[in-house]
Structure 1
């Protein structure tokens, strides 16, 4: 893995200290990352979820996108998951894709950890 990827992973670990962070080199200088035990809760049925994503070798100049989570993600009120959330495949297994692209990426400030924080905030407040 390239040094900027290792730094991004260390930043994720220090930001999400209550979570398990699993990594695997992607074979191209980047890494696949899965963060487990992220708190979610209402309006979702899941109290905790995992979120997976790839940090590519172009990081920090490339967006960390998309993010994936458990295929069984569901709302407690029975409503659909809504825009930006759909069925997908994450590393050979069924998953739910969380589509939150950063349109104005600033490589100096937009870290992989910050992106995951934003994705989780969006998911928690998504109507």
Structure 2
């Protein structure tokens, strides 16, 4: 069994608290980090399904590493338009997914955390 660094364990707990009421699956990545999947995440009416899952990896280097990219279930825009360049369909954790590429270029590890980044991704999707 791999022991998680305190920062990774704290990040998982922050995600669980932020998404309270949503199932959260955590699977170790074999290198001291974890893969996290939050179920039943609302992403708004811009998509034919307004609820999906949100997944990401918290690496063992956290908090010194950005959480990037994020993944969701396959989303189709309700207006029929294609996704922009920051969204592409890929497999993730043995399931079809949309990769959301939203890097935090001005990330401050003392302020920004996993839960806040996940919420920013969710809001960005909802605003599309």
Which TM-score tier does this pair reach, normalised by the shorter chain?
over 0.9
Structure 2 gap ranges (5+): none
Q: Give the 4+ runs in structure 1 shifted more than 6 A.
A: none
Aligned to 1:98: 100
Aligned to 1:24: 27
Aligned with 2:115 (options 113, 116, 123): 113
Distance in 2, Cα, partners of 1:64 & 1:40: 19
- Single out whichever of 31-40 and 85-94 deviates more from structure 2: 85-94
Aligned to 1:9: 12
TM-score by length of 1: 0.94
Distance in 1, Cα, partners of 2:29 & 2:124: 27
Distance in 2, Cα, partners of 1:33 & 1:50: 10
Task: State the aligned residue count.
Answer: 125
Aligned to 2:80: 78
Deviations 1:27-84 (A, max 9, x none): 111100000000123111112100111000010110000001112x111111112220
Aligned to 2:53: 50
Deviations 1:64-111 (A, max 9, x none): 00001112x111111112220001121233211011000011110110
Aligned to 1:67: 70
Structure 1 gap ranges (5+): none
